[in-house]
Amino acid sequence: MVGPVRPQFVLFGSSIVQLSFSNGGWGAILSDIYARKADVILRGYYGWNSTRAVQFLNEVFPKDAAIQPSLVIVYFGGNDSMGAHPSGLGPHVPLPEYIENMRKIIVHLKSLSDSIRIIALTCPPVDEDRIRETRSKFLSELVRTNELCGMYSEACIKLCEELDVKVVDLFTALQKGDDWKTCFTDGIHLSAEGSKIVVEEILKVIKSAEWKPSLHWKSMQTEFSEDSPYDLVAADGKTTLNPSEWTIHREIQWD
């Protein structure tokens, strides 16, 4: 692998994760925030539910890997919480099975190393009206409701409390504003505005966590941050300015 070796932050989940580098997504924002500090690695799989995640858990996170992640942000629940299809096919996972699947995922991640940190994201809300308006002719009717999303979100929170794992309550965070439906591109997947809320909530958790070492971006070492005569020349014409910590390009100055 390319060096130097940095801490690895792995994003693991379904389409909310796979698309997190699209449309000003939260994965891309995190990658920018942690530039020169950590490698943000995408392991998102469109359409997956927690059952499928468990099936491939050992392949995505092998226990004998030479380097284990410092942080895993894991999200499943949106597809699990869809209503059951009469055929028995489809991504729906009954709530008790979803809870046990998430338990297996978290327990496996914890087993990778003593220093690994985990943040779970709960099932976000959905814009039911928008889903009905944009339903694809190639898909059977999708049963997605806020009531179901809320049930799976609450279950995820309770499980994380039981397992002593950090959790971000996306179901609540994304519905705080009156215009919360602008958080979605199609009623399900996140817009740039929705992604900004996700990043804000993740950073709150990381900053407040009593992890040693801290994984908050301001506390982490910046790679090759020493002063250099090859840096940009200052206005005095005699010294240089070290740009390694500059954040002036960012639309939002994240805390």
Q: Which residue in the list 20, 70, 81, 189 is annotated as catalytic?
A: 189
Is residue 186 part of the annotated active site? The answer reads: yes
Give the three-class secondary structure for 44. strand
Helices (H), the chain: 15-18, 26-33, 50-55, 57-60, 95-110, 128-133, 146-163, 170-173, 192-208
DSSP classification of residue 41: E
Structure tokens at 155: 């279950």
Quick one: which H or E segment has residue 11? strand 8-13
Q: Which residue in the list 39, 186, 216, 231 is annotated as catalytic?
A: 186
CB 5 within 8 A of CB 65: no
Catalytically active residues, by annotation? 14, 186, 189
